[in-house]
Structure 1
Amino acid sequence: MRATLARKRDWVGAAWTIRLGKIPSTPMAPFAHLDHSDYALAPELQSQLLSPSLVVFIDQVRANIRRVIECAGGDSDRWRVHLKTTKIPAIWDELLNAGVRHFKCATVRETAELLTLLDEREISGDVLLAYPLVGPGLDYLGRLAVAHGSQRVSVLCEDEERIGSIPAALEIFIDLNSGMDRTGVPVADRETILACARAAQGRLRGLHHYDGHLHAADMDLRRQEIFEGYDRLVALVGDLNAQGIEVDEVITAGTPAFLSALEYTPLRKLQGARHRVSPGTVVFHDARSQVENPGLGLAPAALVFSRVVSQPRRGQITLDAGSKALAAEAGDPAAHALGHPEWTALSPSEEHLPVDLGGGPAPERGSACLLIPRHVCPTVNLAEEALLVESDGSHSVVRVSARAHDLFAPG
């Protein structure tokens, strides 16, 4: 980051440099500790940029990637990054440049885009589609694995009777229900897990244990709950080993749990198995993650550029980034305005975001601001294109090519 840029460019919002010891005490202003710095867009660029639009700051992406690898002891091999957040191959390039080779995807489209990139860069990767696919999507994934034969491709399964229908080119992770009750076999159901493991012999990669429901605000309580789940998980691996089942890999931990997962020593000492964490939001970071992991030291990297379109009443403005540009499913506030900790975003409608100014002065109509999403993953999915901005002000426009879903499988 270069402070000299301030002489060259106008500034939108505030910085991402973290002042240690000044973590906000309230989730209403999770980025009040940020300095004015490198979220800059040149005036001529701002004058041409339509709003709302997705803007990704590449230096912050790189810093976030470095920070997560640092948390993993400098070992990029411990990170199976989830790509559901980023959805942009140019961002995946940054992960590859940092040495990351293990990936999770949520959709077949994400998987197809990633496999194409890996082949183009002549890099051998390891890709898990972390979803219990059924129907033609499963067959399509099998064809992708054949077409990209230098890559390892796997899928989740929770039912021994379905393993025979999984294409032979795909490897298998058994999906465990860690208590989230979304998908997977309950960890305590040893009979079903053992049956799945035996049916998948020869293609069994390991266990997938997603504990995204554990995000208590009390960090000590969260760690305790996470560790209790890992106690049960480690016992399961031991039981499978005792039955002659080899577990190659154990995957845990999205963004709320991954620091605790890295702290849990028994996962690093599994017999014959590699433990990997799988956060994805960390690459772009967002307001919800800042509240959940306030001391992590990440920077918001994917923001929504917006403009003031109305001043409907004293003390309130309306921005042009509604729920069709900014994910709203995680609750209010849907975003935080960079550089304006006193502002509070109210409930959005489709094309409008009302904002309470908190007693501050009203900006002029047409004024620009950058919004940090509360939940960045579905926010990125709403955008068809993104503006990528480098620290020197250079920029490019890319498609968010892994967003959404295909209607039919190609071919």
Structure 2
Amino acid sequence: MQLCTPTLTLDLDAFDRNVARMARTIARGGKHWRPHVKSIRSPALARRLLAAGARGVTCATLDEAKVMVEGGVDDVLVASQVVQALEIQQLLDLNRRARVMVAVDSLAQGLLLARYARHAGLAVPVLIEVEVGLGRAGVTPGPAVVDLARRLAHEGGLHFEGLMAWEGHATRVAAGGARRQAIADAVGLLTESARLCAAASVPPGTVSCGGTGTFETTSTLDGVTEIQAGGGVFGDLRCREDFGIDLEAALGLRASVISRPTPTRIVCNAGWKSLAVHPKPPRPSGLEGVAGMAHAASHLTIDLAGALVRPDIGDCIDLEVGYADATVFLHREIVGLRDLQAEERFTLPDTRPPPAR
């Protein structure tokens, strides 16, 4: 199978080991696994996670959810608010084919969903998003969560499933005991809200949280029922180095050397249109003496501390992906490799919203 560069590659053996490790860690904590697929994107790869024990997937957008449902995934959480009329109609359509839950963080949003759902003769499953310190969306923990749960649980057109949160701010705390405590403190706001809901006779069946940077801790916390960590299966530099997670590098980008203007400079066709620089830059794999890198739209310039003859013009160079979430969406396929040979192509559907009419 010939590769045209730049192209995303996936070491299937490393990927399978990462999947098995994450599944094992989450199961050992007695939690269900609902991996986030905002970086995975491919329904075929998502189905591999389901085969490894995941009970469904998490998506960031409704368009991602549509791709997953059309790809055969029948249990989906959209971990964001859906408020536009066209999107609500799409959510209802998806719920005719699969179980597609959605996050709610206000009564106004809940009543809007309920009105459309009643008109369609459906009950949309919803989770209340709780704000546990990230500073984004979500209901204030405690009584406000209970009040909203009471209203949603008795509103026709909705089915109250439980609570969710994302404690991502805790990943910015230095690794070690302080980070683990920050994660526990944030998730404690979620689980205490769940306890209060249960005491008020609106028990949440699902209490969902945890990402790649936190799943090793959230998997051990009482009161949590499912973990959303997903992107770690790719083992990018951010999860391994910034989050300190013991996973293998599986996702890479293969590029071609297009210029060697000096013995200490390599220019390849892997600019930021194919490989994200923020929040974690990529790194050449197996190339010694890298002194610096300069990123442009379609070019990556690598400066070396000393002269090298190889790689030469036309040779391939592999780069470790810095952050999968910001890289995978730039591509339309991932080529799966086994023993360095191309084995399978994974199509990455376009999940951008359709153009306005």
State if a TM-score over 0.5 links the two structures: yes
Structure 2 letter corresponding to 1:57: D
Cα deviation for residue 65 of structure 1 reads: 0.8
Are positions 1:93 and 2:40 aligned together? no
| Runs of 5+ unmatched residues, structure 2 | none
Partner of 1:68: 22
Structure 2 letter corresponding to 1:152: R
Match among 309, 316, 329 for residue 258 of structure 2:
309
Match among 283, 287, 290 for residue 340 of structure 1:
287
Cα deviation for residue 394 of structure 1 reads: 4.9
Match among 74, 81, 104 for residue 132 of structure 1:
81
Partner of 2:148: 196
Match among 180, 199, 208 for residue 223 of structure 1:
180
SS of corresponding position for 1:207: strand
Are positions 1:375 and 2:323 aligned together? yes
Are positions 1:176 and 2:126 aligned together? no
Deviations 1:7-47 (A, max 9, x none): xxxxxxxxxxxxxxxxxxxxxxxxxxxxxxxxxxxxxx5xx
Contact 2:7 2:254 in 1 (8 A): yes
Structure 2 letter corresponding to 1:131: S
Structure 2 letter corresponding to 1:283: V
Partner of 2:343: 395
Partner of 1:5: none
1-structure distance, mates of 2:317, 2:212? 27
Cα deviation for residue 359 of structure 1 reads: 3.2
Contact 2:83 2:109 in 1 (8 A): no
Are positions 1:49 and 2:3 aligned together? yes
User: What RMSD, in angstroms, separates the aligned Cα atoms of the two structures?
Assistant: 2.4
SS of corresponding position for 2:327: helix
Cα deviation for residue 230 of structure 1 reads: 2.4
Partner of 2:354: 407
Cα deviation for residue 139 of structure 1 reads: 1.8
Residue-pair matches, total: 343
Partner of 1:59: 13
Are positions 1:78 and 2:26 aligned together? no
| Runs of 5+ unmatched residues, structure 1 | 1-44, 120-124, 269-274
Residues 232/381 of structure 1: CA separation in 2 closer, same or farther (3 Å cut): same
Are positions 1:361 and 2:308 aligned together? yes
Structure 2 letter corresponding to 1:298: L
Residues 200/344 of structure 1: CA separation in 2 closer, same or farther (3 Å cut): farther
2-structure distance, mates of 1:328, 1:182? 24
Residues 89/360 of structure 1: CA separation in 2 closer, same or farther (3 Å cut): farther
Match among 261, 268, 272 for residue 218 of structure 2:
261
Are positions 1:141 and 2:103 aligned together? no
2-structure distance, mates of 1:169, 1:369? 52
Residues 335/81 of structure 1: CA separation in 2 closer, same or farther (3 Å cut): same
Residues 240/380 of structure 1: CA separation in 2 closer, same or farther (3 Å cut): same
Match among 212, 216, 219 for residue 168 of structure 2:
212
Match among 46, 63, 70 for residue 116 of structure 1:
70
Residues 315/155 of structure 1: CA separation in 2 closer, same or farther (3 Å cut): same
Structure 1 letter corresponding to 2:252: L
Residues 342/69 of structure 1: CA separation in 2 closer, same or farther (3 Å cut): farther
Cα deviation for residue 361 of structure 1 reads: 2.1
Contact 2:31 2:227 in 1 (8 A): no
Contact 2:146 2:193 in 1 (8 A): no
Residues 279/327 of structure 1: CA separation in 2 closer, same or farther (3 Å cut): same
Cα deviation for residue 257 of structure 1 reads: 0.9
Contact 1:342 1:360 in 2 (8 A): no
Residues 392/77 of structure 1: CA separation in 2 closer, same or farther (3 Å cut): farther
2-structure distance, mates of 1:316, 1:267? 54
Residues 389/233 of structure 1: CA separation in 2 closer, same or farther (3 Å cut): same
1-structure distance, mates of 2:100, 2:204? 17
Normalising by structure 1, we get a TM-score of 0.77
Contact 2:132 2:187 in 1 (8 A): no
Cα deviation for residue 54 of structure 1 reads: 1.1
SS of corresponding position for 2:351: coil
Match among 280, 283, 287 for residue 230 of structure 2:
280
